[in-house]
Structure 1
């Protein structure tokens, strides 16, 4: 049953340990392990579930409840929960991490010393319902079915794996379906059959089917015991006569208390904006790079806008002006946009150049007409291109889009010289790729002396992700534009050549700009850790060697492979 539309504010209370167990064991066959050997499955699963709650259910109030110490049930039955397996060490060590996740999302943790989470939740949901809210218990624990009533519902998050259970919304309409009894008789039912997971005895010999029949006939356990002589089934009658005390004790053990001295602080439970800086710190430690990007980036309203100068280069004169700036500065960041992730099969579509922080230029070479209407400004004179642009650019018209001339065109010679002149320092992110792309285009780029990806690896060799998006978010506090944002996803993704040149400009210029800014961030740190010489004399020269090896490939004995089938 899906969640019905809310008719009043909803308070969601999460059963903390149940959620952590669910998240951990959902990935038990393929646990998520960080580069430091930390099992991060529980933290990852809890984070994903919280995201789902935020996006799908949009709660006005939210809290997570944990057990705190031994409860009075241990006094009633010393062996209560004694048969439970000890919590796995990896799971136990995950709990502080999960608590950091709750802290980062600013989800308040509620606990009351000497009581289980069930009793705290039971008390709070009834208080919430009495105050006009709809209370939602988030747990797969069957004990909570006893609390379901008008304005108190249960969200069973389900579980994955071989014994998968679908997520389910439980209200008074369908509460009887799981156990076969109404919510008001759940304690009677559990008291009769017992609960092996909590070591609650129940009545030996009475199973679910018999328990349901007895409840349908007599109602409560107390009434069943009072009329046990009327029970026709000999085995059930004798079991109740022999274990009447156990039945009553079991019912008492499974009954959730709803009268604890715990306040319902709705203001504290009101949903808040996450602490993005804290989440960024936690997710970086956990190596949840996609989560860092999603939740660790500052919210748009939190981060002041910083002006950037990203320009689309429309003329050879503009190219020459950029080249002159490069000659004055002696270094620049470069990034290529292509048709493939495989450098040896990639055709050059465009390139971006950053010559100072937040100043970058996009040079289109092979864009086609398909894309946004913003490209209309670049059409030829016959198709709407301004006359002055036609005069300035000897454009290589490709399907109606005014691209710059090919890099081997005589008009582009100054740029080609800068690219191939080793005296001008080139900065890149994964420069080997750009070297091969240029080589495929007939350009032998030299002077690649700073690769931000390699610098990151030297500074943090244990880090899993040295991609630009992750590095920008961690070191520059900047959330980059993704390829999917400009080219689409899946079957709707278009080739970069068909991306609007304005969108390509923003995306490509940002890449070059971020690369330059990362280089400026990494350089002093390499020097501080005395890694600069290793970086300059071994790691960077090796980039070109590896590019040469990849370009040359390997020779194989075709006849031998043909013979071997």
Structure 2
């Protein structure tokens, strides 16, 4: 059912199933074929069966594998609500603990799993009740009939009270008001709805677990396909995933000590770029901050992993401040308790001045006696952070600028922001986040914030993270930001974007930060007048 127009047993059972959907555009079909071809080229097996939907194939494989391999943990990479009926907790087996999920969903967009425990927490029902839940809700997208006025939360509440759809219908006469009337009116259609939403687990499809393993990417076939489709930015990401150097790597550096695949700028690149800038503005303003940071020194080494340490004593902090005096560029990052600069408490500051190294200076943690206090740290770093002649780099520096401002420090000398650079180099990139850029451009996988803090209702704040764990995460961020600078500056230069970057985009960071800090003035009386005017229009409709 890839293209969405194939007749299935559901459309035979109920001709109106998905019947209201407009026909798919004609240019979709060749795109589907190309997608399937690309999946095969990256070694991902493609399974399907005429007359069944993808969910039925998944359901069949899940049930079959659970029977044949009870120790196997199964993850369905999808957000499809219908698949929640397949979720399964686990009894103790040889390799799985009693509390671990045997079958779970996984959302790649949020990098979060969804299991039976989450379903219970969210809706108060079990996977065995999901079919009844879907039957009561119906599905406007697929044209599955349901009970009028009953959405997910109402359906879950009914099932929590009555247990099953059959028991609910047996006591439908006891449910008062409009809801009870709607339930009784839908009684004749609910058995059909249940059939439509129930996934088939007996699709006659051949499947062998060993032959379904993802094979190594066939770059010889895949890269030309990406070029053919114009997906240029994915080429380096694919190479990074497979451990291959980016296509943009400079062959002349292959014998150097640099990280494989990461280009280093040619000798004299900084001077050449300096000569391309407007001499009129430079003469008027004097030496520019960017004169000192056009290109990183070719001798610097980019590293896949780092040596990170915590600065917890005054002698260590004083030594670091002395080292900062000779740094070509200082990568800086802040860790806080909130994404709102006005409310966030500073937990620590991370700094890197050489690729592969980083320092984390905690000021708030579960063990406050084990490190310096906030005032001591900020007083020591303030002269460096406020010195406009010392170039700073980072990722999303606007946030760090606001955090420092909230804590009495004016961050000056912001010379390079990898997020800003990423938007300039490729605005269509699917993500400009630090972790995404690290994977695409450096071939490394960062520690994710969800690994450290968790997610959802149980998410912790950074001040509750032990210092040793916080150190690796925070120092890595500063280190990666510094390494991205070494990779992205040559790209900006090659694309003739340095004047735009240095003269427009980076100065604009401070302007935007000022706007965010001050907010905007509003006229409450005018807002009330507009509200009243809109309300009158609504009433007329």
> What TM-score results when the alignment is normalised by the length of structure 2?
0.51
Q: How much has 1:327 moved relative to structure 2?
A: 0.6
The 8 Å contact of residues 217 and 242 in structure 2, kept in 1 or not, is answered as: no
Q: How much has 1:497 moved relative to structure 2?
A: 0.4
**2:390 is matched with which residue?**
424
1:368 aligns with 2:366: yes
Q: 1:333 aligns to what SS in structure 2? A: strand
- The 5 Å alignment of 1:310-321 reads 310-321=308-319
Rounded Cα–Cα distance in structure 1 between residues aligned with 2:241 and 2:465: 26
1:555 aligns with 2:521: yes
Q: How much has 1:560 moved relative to structure 2?
A: 4.2
Rounded Cα–Cα distance in structure 1 between residues aligned with 2:242 and 2:391: 33
**1:98 is matched with which residue?**
36
Once the two structures are overlaid, the 10-residue window that deviates more, 501-510 or 463-472, is 463-472
**1:10 is matched with which residue?**
none
Q: 2:326 aligns to what SS in structure 1? A: helix
For the structure 1 residues 278 and 325, does the alpha-carbon distance in structure 2 shift closer, same or farther, using more than 3 Å as the test?
farther
Rounded Cα–Cα distance in structure 1 between residues aligned with 2:6 and 2:386: 53
Rounded Cα–Cα distance in structure 1 between residues aligned with 2:504 and 2:309: 35
Rounded Cα–Cα distance in structure 1 between residues aligned with 2:458 and 2:465: 12
Rounded Cα–Cα distance in structure 1 between residues aligned with 2:380 and 2:408: 15
- The 5 Å alignment of 1:432-451 reads 432-451=398-417
Q: How much has 1:339 moved relative to structure 2?
A: 1.0
Q: 2:308 aligns to what SS in structure 1? A: strand
Q: How much has 1:330 moved relative to structure 2?
A: 3.9
Q: 2:370 aligns to what SS in structure 1? A: strand
| Of 88, 91, 110, the match for 2:26 | 88
Rounded Cα–Cα distance in structure 1 between residues aligned with 2:528 and 2:413: 42
Q: 2:353 aligns to what SS in structure 1? A: strand
For the structure 1 residues 102 and 23, does the alpha-carbon distance in structure 2 shift closer, same or farther, using more than 3 Å as the test?
farther
- The C-alpha deviation readout for 1:207-247, integer Å capped at 9, x for no partner, is xxxxxxxxxxxxxxxxxxxxxxxxxxxxxxxxxxxxxxxxx
The 8 Å contact of residues 3 and 28 in structure 2, kept in 1 or not, is answered as: no
> What TM-score results when the alignment is normalised by the length of structure 1?
0.49
Q: How much has 1:540 moved relative to structure 2?
A: 0.4
**1:207 is matched with which residue?**
none
Q: How much has 1:22 moved relative to structure 2?
A: 5.3
Rounded Cα–Cα distance in structure 2 between residues aligned with 1:491 and 1:513: 30
- The C-alpha deviation readout for 1:8-35, integer Å capped at 9, x for no partner, is xxxxxxxxxx4x3359999xxxxxxxxx
Q: How much has 1:272 moved relative to structure 2?
A: 4.6
Rounded Cα–Cα distance in structure 1 between residues aligned with 2:334 and 2:7: 44
Once the two structures are overlaid, the 10-residue window that deviates more, 533-542 or 548-557, is 548-557
| Of 450, 453, 458, the match for 2:424 | 458
**1:323 is matched with which residue?**
321
Rounded Cα–Cα distance in structure 2 between residues aligned with 1:496 and 1:279: 44
Rounded Cα–Cα distance in structure 2 between residues aligned with 1:558 and 1:91: 53
1:141 aligns with 2:79: no
| Of 21, 26, 30, the match for 2:3 | 21
For the structure 1 residues 87 and 422, does the alpha-carbon distance in structure 2 shift closer, same or farther, using more than 3 Å as the test?
closer
The 8 Å contact of residues 487 and 493 in structure 1, kept in 2 or not, is answered as: yes
The 8 Å contact of residues 360 and 510 in structure 1, kept in 2 or not, is answered as: yes
Rounded Cα–Cα distance in structure 2 between residues aligned with 1:359 and 1:139: 53
**1:403 is matched with which residue?**
371
**2:487 is matched with which residue?**
521
Rounded Cα–Cα distance in structure 2 between residues aligned with 1:307 and 1:545: 35
The 8 Å contact of residues 398 and 509 in structure 2, kept in 1 or not, is answered as: yes
Q: How much has 1:344 moved relative to structure 2?
A: 2.8
The 8 Å contact of residues 280 and 295 in structure 1, kept in 2 or not, is answered as: no
Rounded Cα–Cα distance in structure 2 between residues aligned with 1:342 and 1:331: 27
For the structure 1 residues 294 and 440, does the alpha-carbon distance in structure 2 shift closer, same or farther, using more than 3 Å as the test?
farther
Kindly name which structure, 1 or 2, has the bigger radius of gyration based on alpha carbons.
1
Q: 1:344 aligns to what SS in structure 2? A: coil
Count of residues paired in the alignment: 320
Rounded Cα–Cα distance in structure 2 between residues aligned with 1:316 and 1:307: 27
Q: Which runs of 5+ in 1 are unaligned?
A: 1-17, 27-84, 110-136, 144-152, 169-263, 370-397
Q: How much has 1:423 moved relative to structure 2?
A: 0.7
**1:223 is matched with which residue?**
none
- The 5 Å alignment of 1:161-310 reads 269=211, 271-275=213-217, 297=241, 306-310=304-308
- The 5 Å alignment of 1:492-511 reads 492-511=458-477
For the structure 1 residues 496 and 278, does the alpha-carbon distance in structure 2 shift closer, same or farther, using more than 3 Å as the test?
farther
For the structure 1 residues 268 and 491, does the alpha-carbon distance in structure 2 shift closer, same or farther, using more than 3 Å as the test?
closer
- The C-alpha deviation readout for 1:88-136, integer Å capped at 9, x for no partner, is 32232231122112221253x8xxxxxxxxxxxxxxxxxxxxxxxxxxx
Q: 2:392 aligns to what SS in structure 1? A: strand
Q: Which runs of 5+ in 2 are unaligned?
A: 9-22, 54-62, 66-75, 88-205, 244-258, 261-302, 533-541
Q: How much has 1:323 moved relative to structure 2?
A: 1.4
Rounded Cα–Cα distance in structure 1 between residues aligned with 2:312 and 2:362: 8
Rounded Cα–Cα distance in structure 1 between residues aligned with 2:356 and 2:381: 21
Rounded Cα–Cα distance in structure 2 between residues aligned with 1:102 and 1:368: 49
